[in-house]
Structures are given as C-alpha cells and as structure tokens.
Amino acid sequence: MNAESGTMNSNGGSMRVAFPFIALRPAFIILVFLSGCAPSSAVSSGTNTALDSIDLTAMTDDMAMKIVADSDVQAEIASNGKLITVVQPVENRMRGEILPKGPADAFTARLRILLSKHAPDRFTWVMNRDAFYSLQSRERDTDLGPAPDRVQPEYAITAIFSSLTNEDVKRRSSYYLCEYQLTDINTGRLLWSDKYEVKKSAVKGFLD
Amino acid sequence: MAESGIRRAVRQMYHASLNILVLLATARSAARRLLPAACVLLLVTGCATEKHQREAAKALREFYTSDFDEAARQYKPLAEKTDEDFVLNNVRLGTSYLMYYDLDEAEAAFLRAYEVINSVGVNNGGRSVGAVLVDEKLKIWKGEPFERAMANYYLGLIYYMRNDYNNARAAFENALFKLADYDPDDDKGSRKKRLESNFVLAHLMLAKCFQRLGRDDLARESFKHAKKLRPDLQNLLEYSWNESSNVLLVVEVGFGPRKMTTYNGAIAGFGPTPEEAGPVPLPAVRVDGRLLNLHDLNRPTIDLLAMAQDRKWQDIDTIRTIKSTIGKGMIAGGAIMVAKGAGEDGSRQRTDLMVGAGLLLAGALLEASSQADVRQWELLPRTVFLLPLRLPPGKHDITIEFPDDENLYQTWQGLEVPSNGEATYIFRIQRFNEGPHLWPAKGMRKHLPTTVPGTKFE
C-alpha cells in the first residue's frame, strides 16, 4: 500500500496507528489497577482540625515544666511537703469537637506521668475517686462501701478544653484554648493555672 | 474531469475505510493483548467487591429481621477494612450495635466514621483520579450531608444515653455543621451568610444537653430557635417540660430514603417521596398497661424522606454528570473530526480520522463508565420521635404502639426510671422487634460484672 496516501504500509502504517494504544497501555493498566487496588486507605490520607498527638506532647511537656517552675507551687511544697494530688480527665467544652474518654484521660495522665518522673519528690499521686471505686467493684467480691483507708487527695490537677470551631463549604477551622489548673481541694484556692493555645484549619478539596 | 472527481472521491472513501479498519484491527489487537491481564485484575478486584457487597447485603437482612447482634457480627469484619466503604460500614456497624444496646461498640464504630467524615483530603493519593476516570465508587464514602448529620446525631445520642452531656453537645453541634447552608444570593465565597439548619432533631437534643449541663441561657436560646423552626413542636420544645423529664424515649420508625437510578445508571434522586410513602404514623405510649396522655409530644422531629428531596442538602452525582458531559463532548468532537477526515486525503486525513476515532472511543468509555455511586446508609429510619416523659421513679413496662397500624409496636419490661436526671431508651420499631424485651438489654450484659448479687438475666 501507499504510505503517502495514509493507508497501510505493512509494519510502518500499523505501528503508527498502534502508537496511541501502546502509549495508552500503561495508563490503562494504571486505571485498572486504580479500580481494584486502593491507592490509599480511608485513614491514611486525611487531615482534620482535631487535637492530635503532637498537641498532646507539646502541651503536656509545656505544662509539666511550668508547674514545677511556678513559685507559688514551690512555696506550697516548701511549707506542706509533697502535694497529695489527684488528676481529673479533661472537661470538654469544645464546640463541635468530641473528646472521648481515652484522649480525655491522656491529656492529664501524661502530665501526671511527666511530673512523677521528673519531680517525684514534689507530688504524691492518688487515684481519682470514680476510678478507685470502679476498680474496687471490679476486683473485690464484696462491696465494702466507702473506703476509710483511701488516701484523701488535697490538690487536684484539672483541665478544661474550649474551642471556637466553625465549618463552611470551603474549610473547617478551630481555635483551641486548653487550660490546666492545680487547685487546693480543701480551700478552693487556685494554686497554678496556665494555658496552651493552637489554631488549626483544614481546607476542603474536590471530594470533601 | 467528472470521471476524475468521482475516482478521487471513491479513492478517498476507500482510504478512509481502510484507516478505520486498521484502527479497529489495532484496537482489537491491543485489546487482545491487554484482555487477559485486565480480566484477571477485574476478576480479582471485582470478585472482592462483589463478595463484600454480598456480605453487606446479608448483614442488612439480619438488621431488617431485627437480629442486631448478628448484623453487627457480620458488619464487623467489613468495618475493619480501611477501604472506600470504611465510613459506610462503620456507620452500619454503629447502628446495629446501638440497636443492640452495646453502647461501647457503637461509640467506637461511630467514632471511626466521625474521624474520617471530619477529615479533608481522604481521597488524596490517587483516589480522586480513580473516582473521576474509572469509577466514582472508588472514592471514600462520606455520605450525603444528611447522612453525615445523622452519624453525628447517633454519636451524640450514645453520649446522651451515657449522661456524657459535653460530648453529646459537641456531636449535636457537629451534626448542625454538616447541614449548614449558605445564602445563595450572597456571593462572598466562603464568607457567605450562614443560614441556620432546620435539623430540629439536633437543635432539640442540643438544648437538652445545655439544660443538663446547667447552661440555662444556651438551653433557652436553643429551645427558642428550634420553636422558630418548627412551631408545630411547641410542647416538645417546652423548656420546663424537658427540665422535669426523667425518661426520654427515642422512637425510630420506617425506612430512610434510597438512591434511585435511571435506566442508564444516572441518579434520578432519592425515593420514595413522603407522598409515595404515606403519612408518618404517630406513636402512643403505654406505661404498665396504662395509656399516657402525650400532650402532642408525639410529632415527628424529622422526616428523612422529605429531607432527602431537598436538593440543597444533596451532593450527589457530581462526578457522574461531569464525566457524562465530557464524554458526550468528546463523542461530538470525535464525530466532527471523523466527518472532517472523510473529506480529506493524505496524512491529514489519517491524523483527523485517528484523532476523531480516539475521541469517539475515549468519549464512549467515559460515558459508559459514568455510573452513579449508589452507596448509601440504608439502616436509617424515616423518622425519629423524641418523647420526654415524667414517670414515677422505679421500674416500668413501657410499650410504644401506633393506633393507625396495629402491627407496629414494641414492649420493654423493667425499664429503670431515675428520680434524678434522665434515662434514655431507644425503640427501633420494625418487624420481629416487638418484644417483650427485658431490661438490661442483651447488648449491655456483656459489659456488666458476671457476679452481681441479686441480678437475674433472661
């Protein structure tokens, strides 16, 4: 056949026409591959505005340093000895942000762990009442009622997380205020208080 | 001259026919070479997807026959797979566990879904391209806005049932975020004026949370706002009535909306319409055999069938429509190029015909692959009634019945009503779930201590 006329010239013509298919072949295979093999899992690619492990580490490190360096706390320890302290889970006052029990415990538990590790001579830690009686009811055969031998805490570390959260068609943004307090339970005196602030936003994409 | 012209035309037609034949032969050859690999891949992946769909359908049957424990058992392995149905299977799992009263498992499942629903960019990493070019079902399902709102509502309900009012509040607020709408006449982009959602179910539960948290100012504001949205729920949204309530009955009836497709796979919308499904039956409550006067509390807070008809809350079929439009455009462009090529000769003719055929083929493939994504959360009820009641503290047998349909009822025996605070019970009214059920519910018992003196289970 005549190549110039654009029909078939044995291999040459055939190869030229086949070229798009050869070029498309990898793309086709990728497409088929895409259709079957998930390129990413549902939990591997997304980002959101929730507080995460980086915040957990940063804020508890910061709070631990500040609480031991505080002059009022140091004066209290100097006058009363080790502070018998209980730790409460975080109180969630965040708008549109759920804080399940595990993370709510973790944000104060890590602070307790840091303090017990780095300042063991300044604090005595006591289980909070609910956890104590829950443990007793799980592990003891008889219910003995209130335990007179339970060490009574005199101080409490508490945390309140608040947020201003908003979501619209394009993004979700949250400003967090995480406030930690050390309170004298007997008198209600606020011995120490500090905060951790962070702002986060997530921009929605094509399929969000 | 005339003979030469005819001969030239015949030659052009002959060349054009040959070009098309070559194209088809090459396509056939390419297809033949690719077919085994493609078939194997499609079979493997297709079989896996089909298997999951069969398993989900089986679990769905168990749910509809009210064997919630078995439904949850079957949904669980599906919900563990972090594939494109991760959120869908987790909300299905959460619903099954909730109806089984296994609140810990229900919370865990809904939380997994909540995290992905609240995340952005979950379809990055190739899924977006795959969803657009291959199949929309490749995208990670996050649900329509009303489905996202219901996932948050259920999560809130679980926390409310456990008296964790702070987390319940957060979940109901989040439910309202998912249904936020924006003034279409305001064109300031993301700063568009926010229109309050009329998802009164979440507004009411939010008000109740504020009430239980002692935030009277916010509670009153929420009740007031909800009354403005739904004046017909005047009694249900009464501050003092809710304040004195010590038991909240959550009654779910009917089946939620379904995605309907046309003959060519396009979404026709959600169905049935409220008119097709008929009016929502209104419940009556019998406590220890005595019929209560509900003072018009028994009004539906939502009708998901009506909600699904509202296009402003629908985000469906976007990709399919885009693909279909582009596909049609390519077919039209291809046809023009082929027609143009038929009137030419030489290398230009060959190029035009090839481009035209390529466009036709690509357009046809795009059009053919533009099937709608019909995945949906089919366990949603049509409507939810909230019945806050004041009952004498102690144990009571409570029956929900529907005077307009004697086949619809459910009885629970020994429901505990506290003297302080509010106990919340959920009634899923459907076939084979009439009871009588004994309290504590079966799903709660595995979390209770095994040796509790004086406690007898059925």
| Mean pLDDT (whole number) for A153-171 | 92
Residue of B nearest to A97 (CA): B170
For residues A36 and A94, membership in a common domain is answered with: no
Closest CA relative to residue A196, chosen from A43, A51, A42: A51
**A44/B107 CB distance under 8 A:** no
* CATH number of the domain encompassing residue A114: 3.40.50
| Mean pLDDT (whole number) for B117-137 | 77
For residues A100 and A23, membership in a common domain is answered with: no
Tokens of B292: 């209560």
Q: Does the residue A208 lie in any domain?
A: no
Write the pLDDT tens digit of every residue in A34-62: 554 545 787 777 888 999 999 999 999 99
For residues A82 and A166, membership in a common domain is answered with: yes
- Give residue B254's pLDDT: 95
Q: Does the residue A92 lie in any domain?
A: yes
CA within 13 Å, CB half, B228: 9
Contacts of A44 in chain B (CB under 8 A): 82, 125
The partner residues of A182 in beta bridges, in order of sequence, read: A157, A192
Write the pLDDT tens digit of every residue in B142-192: 988 899 999 999 999 999 999 999 999 999 999 998 887 655 555 554 444
Mean pLDDT, rounded, of chain B: 83
Q: Would the pLDDT of A9 be above 80? A: no
Say how many domains are in chain A: 2
**A40/B180 CB distance under 8 A:** no
- Give residue B147's pLDDT: 93
ipTM computed for the complex: 0.79
For residues A2 and A98, membership in a common domain is answered with: no
- Give residue A85's pLDDT: 96
Write the pLDDT tens digit of every residue in B62-95: 999 999 999 999 999 999 999 889 999 999 999 9
Q: B249 or A140, which is more confident?
A: B249
DSSP per position, A125-173 = EE--HHHHHHHHHHH-SS---S-TTSPPPSEEEEEEEEEEEEE-SSEEE
Q: Would the pLDDT of B38 be above 80? A: no
How many Cβ pairs within 8 Å bridge chains A and B? 202
Range of the domain at A97: 53-203
Q: Does the residue A82 lie in any domain?
A: yes
Q: Would the pLDDT of A78 be above 80? A: yes
For residues A82 and A151, membership in a common domain is answered with: yes
* pTM, 2 dp: 0.81
Contacts of B155 in chain A (CB under 8 A): 98
For residues A60 and A136, membership in a common domain is answered with: yes
* Shortest Cα–Cα distance, B412 to chain A (Å): 28
Q: Does the residue A48 lie in any domain?
A: no
For residues A122 and A193, membership in a common domain is answered with: yes
**A34/B130 CB distance under 8 A:** yes
- Give residue B296's pLDDT: 92
Q: Would the pLDDT of B333 be above 60? A: yes
For residues A13 and A71, membership in a common domain is answered with: no
For residues A157 and A186, membership in a common domain is answered with: yes
For residues A131 and A151, membership in a common domain is answered with: yes
Closest CA relative to residue A208, chosen from B117, B186, B365: B117
Q: Does the residue A164 lie in any domain?
A: yes
For residues A104 and A160, membership in a common domain is answered with: yes
Q: Would the pLDDT of A21 be above 80? A: no
With bands split at pLDDT 50, 70 and 90, how would you rate the model's confidence at A86?
very high
Q: Would the pLDDT of B122 be above 90? A: no
For residues A90 and A148, membership in a common domain is answered with: yes
Which stretch of A7-16, B175-184, B296-305 has the lowest confidence by average pLDDT?
A: A7-16
**A14/B189 CB distance under 8 A:** no
Which stretch of A57-61, B28-32, B376-380 has the lowest confidence by average pLDDT?
A: B28-32
Q: B455, exposed or middle or buried, with CB in 10 Å at 0-12, 13-18, 19+? A: exposed
With bands split at pLDDT 50, 70 and 90, how would you rate the model's confidence at B193?
low
With bands split at pLDDT 50, 70 and 90, how would you rate the model's confidence at A8?
very low
* Shortest Cα–Cα distance, A153 to chain B (Å): 25
